[in-house]
């Protein structure tokens, strides 16, 4: 991990004359040179549409694109590429589910969510409930920022059709017990959906071990390009679902009277996909596999422990989230007497990039009794030196504001 930063070209630049300290990987991760080069190589050597022609370039593009599906399936231990659907991002993956999976819901059916969800795993289900007359229930969070599993289990019943929960909170960093959530869903004959956007980049994920029905995540949070996301689904369930988008490449035949759908996963991938993004995504997976997810997780645990101690020692700084138990490298905090946006701007003057606001989780903010929060998030290219720089900059910001 000591040399990882050298692989990321953007980390050599300066912000406001200062060394760039990038602490916003929960929003989007930086890209190693191998990912950038993979996209460039696609455009310079094999740019063509996939599944469209019996020519050299099209065959090369198709091979790259399909290999990316296979690499993704292997990375999360899915059954095969037929269970890997490429979307635009996690949000689109969850919207796909809310439309296609939700078509079978009836009035009075229940959808069980948690109060720590990102809007992407809340609003689509709200819209589905409005369309179908379904009822949404919410599992509470504990005072220390963990999911109330007993409460979740007690709210699941015979009318529950979908249980959707985050694998790891984008604000608190809390890692939820996805395997237990999937079992609760299975016990009441409901479908389990895991929003793993903040989990897959940071911890080893095995969908067979978890036993979930669906799992969604994004390439750009795990060193890959923007504009490409993943929906993993059980093959049998995907076969039963109707597609979310229709048009080219997702059909096997079309007449003036109707159409028949293509085989998985292409049934859910209408139109020309992000082929270059898939090339970059494949390179990102290779980079993470070479690094080793156990090393990624171990490095983040070390940084998190150091950050919680270092930032926690600063007077008038409040840190949120669980003090014990599994947690990804996210440190949410506020400085007493300062607005989160002011803190972010002051840190930017020091070359330190964090994020501030409600982080697309307004209901969670309401539960926590705050309007917003500063969030520092880490990845494989960060070091303890970055944490020290953050702590120093927080101290300087306090001096400027006199707090």
The 10s digit of each residue's pLDDT in 314-350 is 999 999 999 888 999 999 999 999 999 999 999 999 9
Show which of 289, 315, 341 is a domain's final residue.
289
Cα(114)–Cα(177) distance, rounded to whole angstroms? Answer: 13
Neighbouring C-beta atoms of residue 256, cutoff 10 Å: 4
Q: In this structure, are 57 and 83 located in the same domain?
A: yes
Mean confidence (pLDDT) of the chain: 96
Contact 290, 7 (CB under 8 A): no
Show which of 234, 258, 289 is a domain's final residue.
289
Q: In this structure, are 202 and 349 located in the same domain?
A: no
pLDDT digits over 174-227, tens only? Answer: 999 999 999 999 999 999 999 999 999 999 999 999 999 999 999 999 999 999
| 190-227 burial code (b ≥16 CB/10 A, e <16) | bbbbbbbbbbbbbbbbebeebbbbbbbbbbbbbbbbbb
Please determine, for residue 4, whether its predicted confidence score (pLDDT) is greater than 80. no
Cα(75)–Cα(385) distance, rounded to whole angstroms? Answer: 31
Determine, yes or no, domain membership for 192. yes
Q: In this structure, are 126 and 265 located in the same domain?
A: yes
pLDDT digits over 9-67, tens only? Answer: 999 999 999 999 999 999 999 999 999 999 999 999 999 999 977 899 999 999 999 99
Determine, yes or no, domain membership for 362. yes
User: Which helix (DSSP H) or strand (DSSP E) does residue 278 occupy?
Assistant: helix 275-291
For the chain, what percent of residues have pLDDT higher than 70? Answer: 99
Q: In this structure, are 358 and 323 located in the same domain?
A: yes
Tokens 């600063």, located at residue: 314
What total of structural domains would you count in the chain? Answer: 2
Determine, yes or no, domain membership for 375. yes
Neighbouring C-beta atoms of residue 243, cutoff 10 Å: 21
Cα(113)–Cα(139) distance, rounded to whole angstroms? Answer: 6
Gap between the terminal Cα atoms of the chain: 36
Q: In this structure, are 211 and 283 located in the same domain?
A: yes
Q: In this structure, are 8 and 116 located in the same domain?
A: no
Residue 267, sorted as left (phi over 0), alpha (psi -120 to 50) or beta, turns out to be alpha
The pTM (predicted TM-score) of the whole model is 0.96
Cα(132)–Cα(102) distance, rounded to whole angstroms? Answer: 8
188 is catalytic: no
Determine, yes or no, domain membership for 29. no
Show which of 220, 255, 289 is a domain's final residue.
289
Q: In this structure, are 198 and 340 located in the same domain?
A: no
How would residue 6 be classed by pLDDT, with cut points 50, 70 and 90?
A: confident
Q: In this structure, are 178 and 205 located in the same domain?
A: yes
pLDDT of residue 325: 82
What domain range includes position 346? 4-24+293-401
Q: In this structure, are 302 and 391 located in the same domain?
A: yes
pLDDT digits over 100-154, tens only? Answer: 999 999 999 999 999 999 999 999 999 999 999 999 999 999 999 999 999 999 9
Q: In this structure, are 62 and 197 located in the same domain?
A: yes
Q: In this structure, are 211 and 109 located in the same domain?
A: yes
Determine, yes or no, domain membership for 350. yes
How would residue 1 be classed by pLDDT, with cut points 50, 70 and 90?
A: low
Contact 121, 195 (CB under 8 A): yes
Determine, yes or no, domain membership for 304. yes
Determine, yes or no, domain membership for 155. yes
Instruction: Say which CATH number the domain at 14 has.
Output: 3.90.1150.10
Instruction: Say which CATH number the domain at 208 has.
Output: 3.40.640.10
Determine, yes or no, domain membership for 284. yes
How would residue 403 be classed by pLDDT, with cut points 50, 70 and 90?
A: confident
Cα(341)–Cα(169) distance, rounded to whole angstroms? Answer: 21
Neighbouring C-beta atoms of residue 341, cutoff 10 Å: 12
Q: Which of 188, 191, 212, 360 is catalytic?
A: 360
Q: In this structure, are 269 and 302 located in the same domain?
A: no
pLDDT of residue 402: 84
Contact 165, 176 (CB under 8 A): yes
Structure tokens at 297: 């997780």
């Amino acid at each position: 991990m000591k040399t990882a930063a050298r692989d990321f070209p953007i980390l050599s630049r300066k912000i406001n004359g200062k060394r760039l300290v990038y602490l916003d990987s929960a929003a989007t991760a930086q890209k190693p040179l191998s990912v950038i080069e993979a996209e460039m190589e696609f455009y310079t050597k094999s740019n063509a549409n996939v599944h469209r022609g019996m020519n050299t370039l099209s065959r090369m593009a198709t091979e790259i694109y399909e290999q990316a599906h296979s690499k993704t399936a292997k990375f999360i231990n899915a059954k095969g590429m037929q269970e890997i659907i490429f979307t635009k991002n996690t949000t689109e993956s969850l919207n796909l589910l809310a439309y296609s999976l939700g078509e079978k819901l009836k009035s009075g059916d229940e959808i069980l969510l948690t109060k720590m969800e990102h809007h992407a795993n809340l609003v689509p289900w709200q819209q589905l409930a409005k369309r179908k007359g379904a009822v949404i229930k919410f599992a509470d969070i504990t005072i220390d920022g963990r999911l109330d599993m007993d409460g979740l289990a007690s709210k699941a019943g015979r009318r529950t059709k979908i249980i959707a929960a985050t694998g790891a909170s984008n604000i608190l960093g809390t890692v939820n017990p996805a395997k237990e959530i999937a079992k609760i869903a299975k016990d009441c004959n409901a479908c389990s959906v895991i929003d793993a956007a903040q989990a897959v980049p940071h911890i080893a994920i095995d969908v067979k071990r978890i036993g979930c029905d669906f799992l969604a995540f994004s390439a750009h949070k795990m060193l890959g390009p923007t504009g490409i996301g993943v929906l993993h689904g059980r093959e049998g369930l995907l076969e039963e679902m109707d597609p979310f988008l229709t048009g080219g490449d997702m059909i096997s035949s079309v007449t003036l009277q109707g159409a028949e759908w293509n085989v998985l996963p292409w049934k859910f991938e209408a139109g020309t996909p992000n082929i270059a993004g898939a090339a970059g995504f494949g390179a990102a997976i290779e980079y993470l596999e070479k690094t080793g997810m156990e090393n990624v997780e171990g490095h983040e645990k070390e940084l998190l422990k150091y950050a919680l101690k270092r930032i926690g020692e600063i007077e008038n700084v409040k840190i949120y989230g669980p003090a014990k138990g599994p947690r990804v490298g996210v440190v949410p905090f506020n400085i007493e007497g300062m607005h989160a946006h002011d803190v972010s701007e002051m840190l930017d003057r020091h070359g330190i990039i964090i994020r501030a606001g409600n982080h697309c989780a307004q209901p969670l903010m309401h539960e926590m009794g705050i309007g917003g929060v500063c969030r520092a998030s880490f990845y494989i290219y960060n070091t303890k030196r970055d944490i020290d720089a953050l702590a120093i900059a927080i101290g300087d910001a306090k001096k400027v504001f006199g707090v």
